[in-house]
Each structure stands twice: as C-alpha cells, then as structure tokens.
Structure 1
C-alpha cells in the first residue's frame, strides 16, 4: 500500500495518483464527506477491483465523482457540458440544484447515458453523480480529466472512514492501493442523495447535511420523501443507491440507541453484555453518574448537541469506541428535526448491522 501522511499533497503525489487511476488501479482520496475508494468510471476491470476490495454486492451501485473546472467564478461553470457524457436528460430543476449546491455534499440520480457502464450502476438505467468540494479530490479529478467512482473506503457495511489512517487500517496489507491524505473530513457523513430520474419529482433517497428544507429555501424545489410517492409508483421508479441497505455503517461492537432520559433503563436492558459500556451523551445533557449501577463500568463520551457537529464526530467516535473493547455502545436517539435526519439514518442502520456476527450484509 502506497501512502503519504502529509495532508497537503504535492503535485507529484497527485500526478502519481492520476497515473494509478489511468493504469486501472485504486486510489483512496478525501472528500468533504468521507474518504472514497476511487477507480476509473470508464474501466470495468478497475470497477470490479472496488467491489472485490470492499466485499460489496455487484448490484449495489456506485457514485460517479466529477471535477468542477478551475475557474474564478463558480457561476460560470458549464455543468451541462460536464454532465452530458453521463446523463440522458438534464431538467431545469437538475441544473438549478447543480448550480446551487455543486461542488458539495449532494448526489443527484439521473437517467444514464447509454455509454455509462452497467458495472457502476448495478445494472440499473440510472447513474448517481456528485462533485466533491475537497481541494485534493478536486485536483485529482481535474488532472484525471474523467469520472471516478468512489464508494466509502472501507469494507462493505462497516463504519465509513473520515481520515487516511482509517483507510490504512481498513485495508492494511492491500497491495497496490494508494492513499491520499487530506486530513479529517469536514462533514463526516455521506452526501444527501436526491433522485431526479423520474422526471417530475425530486425524491430523497438518502438524507445528509443538505436537507429538503435547505433545498426548498435556496431553489424553490420541493423534495419528496419516498413515502409521499404512490407506493406502486415508488416501487417502479426509485433506484437503488449507496448506503440504502437496512444494515450499514456498522461497528463490530453491539450498538444501541436510548431514548431521552432513559440511558439507565437501556443499561438494564442488556444484562448479558453490560459489564463495560460506552455511553455517548449530548453536551446539553446532565452527567449520568454511577448511582445504582455498581455492576456496570461505563464511560461517558460527550457528543455535540448541534446536528452538523454531531455528524462530523459520528464515525470517528464509532471507530474509536469499536477499537476500545467495550461490550456495548449506547448512543442517544437524535433529536427531532430534518437537520438530524442524516445522523438518525446512519445510527439506525449502524445499530441493525452492529455486533460481531455482522461481517456481511449482502442479504439485507
């Protein structure tokens, strides 16, 4: 495994990464959300290497990452020209979303151009695309001059990486993998995914830090929840996307959520595994104390009560706790509000998939 531990990568290192991609190799690189495991989106053999490295089901689609041109005025970017090799139809709403939120943590799903490889779409007639903001990702993509598919750089179903060290630990001993170090990820959870492939409605397929409310406020576009679409219609039009399985983002240590003010009840619910428990507590909550629980050794982990800050810390905390030998990890149920929906989605899937027997989630 080739690595560079300097957060600000030199042009020579970026050039080496570009050549690795052109040669059909894999490059792990930072985005503002999480680290991605990248391959040339036009090379079917390189794409197969991603599925093999991650242990990812072949029908689980990938996201294509594109570069924004290096221009002074972002408003002058011709996204239509950049998207035309990938997308069959580009609506006015799609262009409005792209011009408002790209580069950024928003993935859009389109009807795919006929040239887009089935290997990256999971055999579907749709393609998911985004443009990351991280400067290293942008430089890599600009110099590569093409699309790069990049799911999170971790084993399938496990906690996503937010640092280069996470990637190296995940794929320790993997020959030929180049890892670009861009420091810690700013957002910390994966991008919001909006489906535009049905033509008349924008549908939320995966929540993230960009919320339907923010999209409505900035563009006037109404984003619908899958449940708001007619059931028979949704079954026909909603594509499969990354991170949509019931079990995902999961630590090996059992993870459970507790209701507000009910952490002590949660400690009592798991008598067989409650001897050493890590309890995440919002910084706005009072300390738990140890009264009445002499048989339980637990440690409080203070988490931010701000949704965006919590998201930034989520995977880092889960990875660290997973390596510390706890019997159980407890996290608070996220507060109400769509700014917490991305965190809530990740925690619920992580809970379902957590535990030592959850090494594979192919059947979920």
Structure 2
C-alpha cells in the first residue's frame, strides 16, 4: 500500500478514504491521530493491526460537534459544563456508552467510551465531511513516541495506512487530559494540558487526580494506563535540575555520544550551546512538552547514540503531563542510576 501525504487542499481525498473504511492520520493540537470510521468495526480493527496495539486498549472517539456524542454516548451535567469550557480542546471525557451503539473493538468491551473534540479546524472538517465520528489513537507504532509532525507518522506507518493529512507541527505536543465522568467522583486518568484544578473550577466539585495500577487482566478505561508508551528504542533517563552538572560530566566521559535534551536556561548554565547531540526543549515547560517526542525520535534515529538524558520538570500540576510522558518513556529510570555505576 502506498501511503500518501495530503495537503489541506486535498481534504476530499482523506474524506473518501474514511468513507471507504481506510485509515487516515490526522493532525490535532496535541499529537497526530490515526483515524477510522468509529461505526465501521472492520475499519477500527485495521487501526489495531496498523499500530500493533493491544486489543484491550480502548480508543478515543473524535467528534466535530458536541451533538455527535448523542448518537453513541450519554451526556451528563458535568460533561455539558466541560464541553462549554474546554471544547474544542485537549480534554477527553469518559462517558457511558449507549447499548449497541459502538462495537467492543472501540470500547475494549467496557460500558464506557472516551470522547474528545480536537481544536483543529482541518480535522473537524474531516469528521464533518465524512459524516461520522472517527476513532483516533496516536498515529504511531504502539509504544513508540507519539507523532507531532506528519513525517513521524510516515516513518512508523508508511505502507500500513492510506494517507496522512498534513497539518504541520502540533501545538501542544502531549496527549489530551482524560477525565472519567462515569463515576461518582470525576477522576483524571491521564494528565494533559488541562489540569485537575482547572476542571474543579468549572465543575464546582472535587476532582480526583491519580492513576491506579491496572492489573494484567484488567481493561484500562483510557489509553496510556496499562502498557508501555512513548518510548524510543534507546535508553532514556530523567534528570532533575540539580543533577545536570554530574550528568553532563558523565555524558562527556562516555566513549559513545549521549543525547541531551534540556531547556534553554540549562543549556546556557552548563555551556552546552556549541555541543553536538544537544536538543533544546525551548524556554519553558510548555515548549518542552511540545518538543519532547520530536527530540526522542531525533536521537532514536541516530545509530551512534544509545543513551538519552532528558530534563525532568518540577513536580507541579501544570508539569504533570510532561513528567508523566517522560517517566513512561524512561521506564522510570533516573540518571542517578548511571551516576552510581
């Protein structure tokens, strides 16, 4: 199969592909998604096959307008408040699914479904013109760093999908906040750009923020809860601000080059601006989130690099999404493990 990269002007080709049951990667404000008609079980099955995704990992359904939800899920008062405040935007809501409305291939066999409305005009046009909600996990090989440009998608999935709708670089760079609204207490299952505190203000009630450990025989309610995610093939280690002096000394002592990813202030502080194998995460936590996956992919593609050191941000609610993705990419490994050797 030849995978095409379509410009925004070629949207009709992407629409036709969705309608005939093919797979189309699409841009959002967070990362690129891999789209298929949510009501076409065979097409949805192709998503799992293309990604190599475990079948018990439910998919997020993307809509162009809130009214599309009513065809397959049950809205509640909390959902209506959050839709008004944050949609379109990087917030995914888990709601009860209407009986028989979606296949178990979409929901993972659960009685709930994850839904969001992306803040991307091109993708909302794709959904509207295809006249169907579309599933949209990240458009990468399962477990790999999420794609933030069309070329990342092509690298992972060329020959496996019909095409990629190229919308340029994504703005936020980490996946949406996922909140479960199907329980007695609203619960954030995956951190993202929108924080629990922001949600609490809108809902006027406490929001639980924390992920429980998903058992081997348990179906996760949201992506990113059970399986290894966001990881390159190379070893990744997290580095806090006060560890960078020793980390740089360690990196410079190695025979093979070490990839280093850190913010501009740390690059200047440790005089790394003229060094090879340094990836700038930009000036702050927001830019770091937008550049994280691209940096991991950059170093993963270099055969002479086996280790990547990445700046960890202070533990704040605003930094939770970045630190969550980095922790998963690193498999929990901290640079202290290297410095102790």
The equivalent residue for 1:136 is 122
Matched, 1:324 2:302: yes
Q: Helix, strand or coil: the match of 2:50?
A: helix
Question: Which one of the candidate residues 282, 293, 315 is aligned to 1:315?
Answer: 293
Compute the TM-score of the two structures, normalised by the length of structure 1: 0.82
Given that 1:93 and 1:221 are in contact with CA atoms closer than 8 Å, whether structure 2 keeps it comes out as no
Alpha-carbon distance in structure 2 between the residues aligned to 1:349 and 1:320: 18
Kept after mapping to 2: 8 A contact 1:247/1:353: no
Is the contact made by 1:100 and 1:219 (CA closer than 8 Å) also made in structure 2?
no
Paired residues for 1:253-332 under 5 Å: 253-266=234-247, 275-285=256-266, 286-289=268-271, 299-325=277-303, 326-332=305-311
Shift of the 272–284 alpha-carbon distance from structure 1 to 2, 3 Å rule, reads closer
1:116-195 equivalences under 5 Å are: 116-174=102-160, 176-195=161-180
Contact 1:273/1:328 (<8 A) preserved: no
- How far apart, in 2, do the equivalents of 1:196 and 1:239 lie? 15
Q: Which residue matches 1:250?
A: 231
Question: Structure 1 residue 103 and structure 2 residue 88: aligned?
Answer: yes
Structure-2 residue corresponding to 1:92: 77
| Cα shift at 1:35 | 0.7
The superposition leaves residues 191-250 of structure 1 with CA deviations (integer Å, 9 ceiling, x where unpaired) of 00000111x2110000001111222334434321236x9x9xxxxx99521122352100
State the 1:274 CA deviation: 6.2
1:262 aligns to what SS in structure 2? helix
Figure out how many residues of one structure are paired with residues of the other and give that number: 324
CA RMSD of aligned residues (A): 2.6
**Mapped contact 2:11–2:126 kept (Cα < 8 A):** yes
- Deviation string, structure 1 residues 86-141 (Cα, Å, up to 9, x no partner): 213x2211110111111111000011111221111111111000001111101101
Question: What is the rounded CA distance, in whole Å, between the counterparts of 1:213 and 1:38 in structure 2?
Answer: 31
Give the whole-Å Cα distance in 2 for the aligned partners of 1:262 and 1:298.
Answer: 20
Distance 1:63 1:32 in 2: 15
Using the TM superposition, give the Cα deviation of residue 260 of structure 1 relative to its aligned residue in structure 2, in angstroms. Answer: 1.9
Q: Structure 2: state its 5+ residue gaps.
A: 334-341
Distance 2:93 2:249 in 1: 43
Distance, in Å, in 2 between the alignment partners of 1:273 and 1:332 is 19
Helix, strand or coil for the counterpart of 1:276? coil
Structure 1 residue 254, shift from structure 2 partner: 0.8
1:259 positional shift:
2.4
Task: Please list the CA deviations of residues 235-285 of structure 1 after superposition, one character each: whole Å capped at 9, or x if unmatched.
Answer: xx9952112235210011111012222134346779997631112222222
Query: What residue ranges of structure 1 are gaps of 5+ in the alignment?
Result: 69-78, 232-236, 291-296, 355-364
User: Equivalent residue for 1:83?
Assistant: 69
Conserved in 2, the CA contact under 8 Å of 1:279 and 1:298? no
Q: Hey, what does 1:211 align to over in structure 2?
A: 195
Query: 3-state SS of the aligned residue for 1:284?
Result: helix
Q: Which residue of 2 aligns with 1:333?
A: 312
Aligned partner of residue 84 in structure 1, secondary structure: helix
Maintained 8 Å contact 1:29/1:180 = yes
Q: Secondary structure at the match of 2:265?
A: coil
What is the aligned counterpart of 2:222 among 241, 244, 265? 241
Q: TM-score, normalised by structure 2?
A: 0.87
Shifted more, 304-313 versus 117-126: the winner is 304-313
Counterpart check, 1:17 vs 2:14: yes
Residue 223, structure 1, aligned to residue 207, structure 2? yes
* Change in 2 beyond 3 A, CA 1:223/1:304: farther
Partner of 1:345: 324
Distance 1:158 1:238, change over 3 A: closer
Distance 2:6 2:13 in 1: 15
